[in-house]
Structure 1
Amino acid sequence: MDMSTTAPIKEMTAATVTGAGSISVDTYPLHEPGPHQVRIRLEGCGVCASNLSPWAGPDWMTFPTEPGGLGHEGWGYIDAVGREVTRLKPGDRVAALSYHAYATHDIVEEDMVVRLPPSLDGKPFPAEPLGCAMNIFCRSGIGAGQTVAIIGIGFLGALLTQLCSKAGARVIAISRRPFSLEVAKRMGAAETIEMDDHWRIIEEVRRLTDGRFCEKVIEAVGQQWPLDLAGELTAERGRLIVAGYHQDGPRQVNMQLWNWRGLDVINAHERDPQVYVRGMQEAVDAVSSGKLDPTSLYTHSFRLDQLDQALDATRDRPGQFLKALVIFP
């Protein structure tokens, strides 16, 4: 995109969350980037399940949010750069780890940006969750010939199913919704199990693995029961990878079982921004090369003034929901 031919814009449009379950969309002055920053004219932003706790209006939440606040999965074109920026230029199509991306524009530190190649032109690219999947896969140590159970086939679980199956692992996908299990099959799962009865699932995995259970188990739900189930399905000296977002209260674990089986337990969440960005770049490379194809997983799109509907859908997961994107005209 040639930004030099675009008329200067002095305002941006941004959403704020004004209270539990409510938003406002307004115009704000458009600021210039600092010396090491770039400004992105956003094409869209993914909706993350981590937004749901603030959306519910807990006591610790302060309303209203900052303009664009909570949005951190944005992509678009750079339209201005700071005076010290040398790696990027106006017109570059990029994805970023930013924090005010429920807006038409966001300002981001230069080192929080990854450039998108021409092969991804016209395609949405919520890089942060794609990078999370790459980082989880990397920390899982999954390779060819291993049996991997993935508990919870939402957007993240579907991405991990594809990555694991393409790495040569045998994936057993476990999920509550029949639609999610169909998605898992498309992503390469060798076996699928409906997530209904705790002991039935354990016996089914025991049967599928000739009693050995799974070398690797990824828990991608973020609730107590799936975490309990993950421990039961992990083989002796296997690895249990916690990818679920456990932010609604404390958890208990069956330490007797974990001790007896000698499990390695990996908390696959990252907090170092540079690790996030590294995963985002790996996601760019994976999608460009065909190692990862998230296209069919973007199931719902909304306008910025429909952000409340996008957040509700992310919470309620209607029908064939996997991932919501907010798209800006």
Structure 2
Amino acid sequence: MRNRGVQAGLLSALLFGAGTPIAKLLLGATNPWLLAGLLYLGSGVGLSLWQLARRAPRPHLARAEWAHLAGAVGFGGIAGPVLLMIGLNTLPASSASLLLNAEAVLTAVIAWVVFREPFDRRVGLGMLSIVAGAIVLTMQGGVSLGSPWPSLAIVGACLCWAIDNNLTRKVSLHDATWLAAIKGGVAGPVNLVLALVLGAMLPSPGNVAVAMAVGLLAYGVSLVLFIVAMRYVGTARAGAYYSVAPFFGALLAVAMGEPVTATLAAASLLMGIGVWLHVTERHEHSHTHQPTTHEHWHTHGDGHHNHEHDDPLPAGTRHSHPHAHAAVTHTHSHFPDAHHRHTHNRHSHR
């Protein structure tokens, strides 16, 4: 739990999960597609203003990284919401909530199979336990899937977001706030325009302001934290922590007057077991870092950043600049973070 990625992943889930009951209150007066646009827009505008206020420099992305970011925005910010709204148009909300759990599973499968992110039985069981808890929580009102096409559209949205997560991980060393602002700044206007073209009407100014404020926290700040989590623990593990979001949403619903149910207790137990399996993971083996040069925020003394500066820095100073990593082979406990994307021939988990 002392790992920054674990903390960021759970806090990201807390913000997104807490925003869900509030967003549901707005659905009575707002078209779902239009609401999605307002939520993304609130994220993009709010984070962009924060970037301007702190005069943050724009990160320098390589050509391949721009391609990864463009793919993440296209899949996650445009295609995903469109497919989601197609599915929600005829599918009951309870069924959609159940199918949306596929995002975490697909994120992990792509990370493990396509991008070769390491995992073991303990991590896999933890992932299954967390997703099982989310499924239990979303099935408490009953589920009726009906026609397969809307269901396939929801699963397609989950696949788009899973691809988005894995592509975003490729650029996760860069300023997370800037990355989230870009994604919200594109997805918000696109979804808003599509909803208006299809006949949706803007709600009252008060509801617009509330939706954008919820979007800033539940979509914007939550996404910033999710990117940080991917940077420190990898895509699959960050996705697993993010899957705890329905639990936090249910807790807020209880605080707003809904009763505590046996379903909530069972889901809490399953998710608790899954998170415990993840946070008690210990992955340690001799591994080799290949020489590389890149730029990101870092501090010295973490075992990977010990380069020299012309002007000495005080210990623990967080700074960003292009720097080189020499080849090194060593042994220590680690997650599949941005500096540990090596292959595994022989390894041990504890």
- TM normalised by structure 2 equals 0.23
The structure with the greater share of residues assigned to strand is 1
Structure with more of its chain in helix, by fraction: 2
Using structure 1 for the length normalisation, give the TM-score: 0.24
